[in-house]
Structure 1
Amino acid sequence: MHEPNPGRNMAAEIAAQPDVFADLLATRDTIAEVAARIEQRRPRFALLAARGSSDHAALYAKYLIEVLLQLPAGLVSPSTTTLYGAEPDLTDVLLLSVSQSGGSPDLVEVTESGRRRGALTVAVTNTADSPLNSAAELSVDVRAGQERAVAATKTYGATLLALYLLIDAVRGGSGASAANLPELARTTLDESARAVSEAANRYRFAERLVTTGRGYSSASAAEAALKLAETSYLSARAYSGADLLHGPVAAIDADTAVLALCSDGRGGDAMRDVLEAVHQRGADVCAIGSAAAQVRASHRVPVPACAEEVAPVLEILPVQRLALELALTRGVDPDNPRGLHKVTRTR
């Protein structure tokens, strides 16, 4: 049975993000209270547990922790706990468990186990009464509201912003770099609309697509590949710009579309040589971000400039819109992708 207005939920949830960001920023003091508890414990390093889109948000947080807090950070493999029963000593470790629903059994088990083994556990979710929140010592509510589309959009953007506000507060920051994100998000959605529609028409028949970015934008590249795969059934692979040059570039040719995340800053600067190499392979490059005009590309989607560490909050917006429009041009309802459910339970 076909829905009368395919993609309407996803479209509405993408459009809602400026207001979601404004609401979340208004609760910064509450997030700062959690940050103060973390700072008091002075963790020696951080671990992040997540799945799916939340795993990409965790990758973003990994960069924030390593750059802004100067702490080593790593992504947890939940199966080492759930399948293999590993019990490392986590004394003085910060364990951030990131999940939109807070309902995945493996993340709950990892959090419970980590807390028993000495970690300071913090749940970052969109569901304040979730099992994950109950398992963790502290929690941060991303306040995105109910999300009806299967593909995460507003919950992903809100999770990025919540993680930034949390980690920035741990270092004693005021959240100043994020203060104008609601306004910039509206500008991004408005000013990128035409270029996104053109990109959707450009790639509607694409069979292979590679997404890439460096630094903070590595998370956006990973999320872009997931969004395109789950909504358009497009074969999409994500690589950091550095990893792309370490082998996979050999598989790129004139039949490959490349979606490149390029925002102002060191990560965007590092993408110039990457995209020069990709251009020489004949690929069709779509550059998205505030530095899109500064790199080799066949098509560009503009994003307003902001501090590099919060750029992923903005640059993911046209990516989500592209996933929506590309799905519709390919005859797919992105609100109901085949074989997927809103909450995925894994162990």
Structure 2
Amino acid sequence: MTSSEVRPGEFMAAEIAEQPAVLAGLVERRADIAAVASAIAERPPRFALLAARGSSDHAALYAKYLIEVLLGLPAGLVSPSTVTLYGARPDLRDVLLVSVSQSGGSPDLIEVTEAARKQGALTVSVSNTPSSPLHSAAELAVDIGAGKENAVAATKTYSATLMALYLLIDAVRGGDGADAANIGELAERTLRDAEEGVRRATDRYRFVDRVITTGRGYSYATALESALKLAETSYLAARAYSGADLLHGPVAAIDGETAVLAVTGAGRGGSAMHDVLDAVTDRGADVLAVGSSSDDVPAALRIPVPVVAEELAPVLEVLPVQRLALGLSLARGGDPDRPRGLKKETKTR
């Protein structure tokens, strides 16, 4: 099929629909990920660092929460330019570095991984490209196995990266992945049950200019990824804030012309969003609540998501948001498969 025969958004729609099978497949391959986790557990790190860009950076932030909460280790996000532009070579003995990249081809992440390995870190790559230079640069590798992604906007590679990171970190702590056993079925249910809510949200927000996305805890990663998806597919002025940070100043810019996409799941992060949503509602914002506790907060529209362990919620929460980004892009006359000025693989240094 030539590009002229492909309908706008056809690739993105198909790849969103593939996610239940991709996620279920990862759970089936858990033993491969557990083998990497076993190698990490044999060399317990003092702390962890995560290197990533774009959507993968949001997945890395999710992993930061997993590492700090589930493993009890300090974790931080790397600034690649300290290595690539400034030549920093910190002592990384007894440190775990996890490099996350869908393509595995970004020069800065490869250089960071190579440098960290030379400086004593245990390096792990998490990528969708087993033959990538990043996998070769790292000592250990996790293949997320999402298959080829044709749309520029990452959908199945993002959720699969979250799933792979969860299975890896859960295995490091000695878990058996039981909470994720039926994640494929839950993803299928999420996409099916969200159809009407996504349609209504698309109709309501197709002419909006400004969107604030917000969440707390594990779901902060979903808020960041939501803003990116809306910006790159629908060219919206979308900005993400932690719910806590939103109250520290930015809430003053919210008014009746502002749409707020709030990620509100069951658990401590979702509970901490109640005061945030009371504040933005008082300022007249039009709130779309997405998550397993969306019925418990003030909102104009709600898209519920099945209840899972809080640390797994981001895998499901992002699915209806991807559908919303697709719908808004098409409603606004765009093609989310080919956003203007973007390529599938971005190389930075």
Q: 2:120: which partner in 1?
A: 118
Letter in 2 for 1:41: R
The C-alpha deviation readout for 1:159-179, integer Å capped at 9, x for no partner, is 000000000000000001111
What SS does structure 2 have at the residue aligned with 1:23?
Answer: helix
Q: 5 Å matches for 1:278-289?
A: 278-289=280-291
Give the structure 2 partner of residue 195 of structure 1: 197
User: Partner residue of 1:303?
Assistant: 305
Distance 1:23 1:239 in 2: 32
Which residue of the other structure, out of 141, 144, 161, is the alignment partner of 1:142?
Answer: 144
**Which one-letter code corresponds to 2:188 in the other structure?**
R
State the Cα distance separating 1:45 from its structure 2 match: 0.2
The correspondence for 1:330, drawn from 329, 332, 347, is 332
Shift of 1:303: 0.6
1:164 aligns with 2:166: yes
Match of 1:109 in 2: 111
- Matched residue type, 1:160: L
- Which residue is 1:100 aligned to? 102
One-letter amino acid of the counterpart of residue 291, structure 1: S
> Whole-Å Cα distance in 1 between the matches of residues 103 and 251 of structure 2?
36
Distance in 2, matches of 1:305 and 1:168, equals: 19
Matches for 1:204-215 after TM superposition, within 5 Å: 204-215=206-217
Distance in 2 between residues matched to 1:123 and 1:177, nearest whole Å:
24
Report the Cα distance in structure 2 between the residues aligned to 1:330 and 1:131, rounded to whole angstroms. 38
Query: 1:53, CA displacement in angstroms?
Result: 0.2
Deviation at 1:291, TM superposition (A): 0.5
| 1:27 aligned onto 2:12 | no
d(CA) in 1 for partners of 2:5, 2:233: 15
- Counterpart CA distance in 2 for 1:80 and 1:35 is 28
In 1, Cα distance between equivalents of 2:255 and 2:5: 37
The residue aligned with 1:155 is 157
Cα drift, residue 180 of structure 1: 1.1
Deviations 1:78-117 (A, max 9, x none): 0000000001000000000000000000000000000000
Q: Per-residue CA shift, 1:164-219, capped at 9, x if unaligned?
A: 00000000000011111100000000000010011011000000000000000000
The offset of 1:4, in angstroms, is: 4.5
Q: Does 1:38 align with 2:31?
A: no
- Number of residue pairs matched? 347
Aligned to 2:265: 263
User: 1:162 and 1:4, CA in 2 relative to 1: closer, same or farther beyond 3 A?
Assistant: closer
Alpha carbon RMSD of aligned pairs, Å? 0.8
Distance in 1, matches of 2:132 and 2:271, equals: 41
* Equivalent position amino acid for 1:62 in 2: K
* Cα distance in structure 2, aligned partners of 1:197 and 1:115: 48
Q: What corresponds to 1:47 in structure 2? A: 49
Secondary structure at 1:216 match in 2: helix
What CA deviation, in whole Å up to 9, does each residue of 1:104-131 have, x standing for no partner?
0000000000000000000000000000
Q: Distance in 2 between matches of 1:296 and 1:44?
A: 42
Amino acid at match of 2:302: R
Q: Name the SS for the 2:148 alignment partner.
A: coil
Letter in 2 for 1:298: A
In structure 2, distance between residues paired with 1:55 and 1:22:
23
| Larger deviation, residues 4-13 vs 56-65 | 4-13
For residues 315 and 179 of structure 1, what CA distance do their matches in structure 2 show?
17
1:12-59 deviation per Cα after TM superposition (whole angstroms, max 9, x unaligned): 000000000111111101100000110111000000000000000000
User: Is 1:223 matched with 2:225?
Assistant: yes
Q: 1:4 and 1:148 mapped to 2: Cα distance?
A: 12
Cα distance per residue 1:273-329 (max 9 Å; x no partner): 100000000000000000000111110001111110000000000000000000000
Q: Distance in 1 between matches of 2:183 and 2:221?
A: 18
Tell me which residue corresponds to 1:67: 69
Per the alignment, residue 82 of structure 1 pairs with 84
| 1:7 equivalent in structure 2 | 9
SS at match of 2:290: strand
Q: Which runs of 5+ in 2 are unaligned?
A: none
Give the letter for the 1:245 counterpart: L
Deviation at residue 3 of structure 1 after TM alignment = 5.8
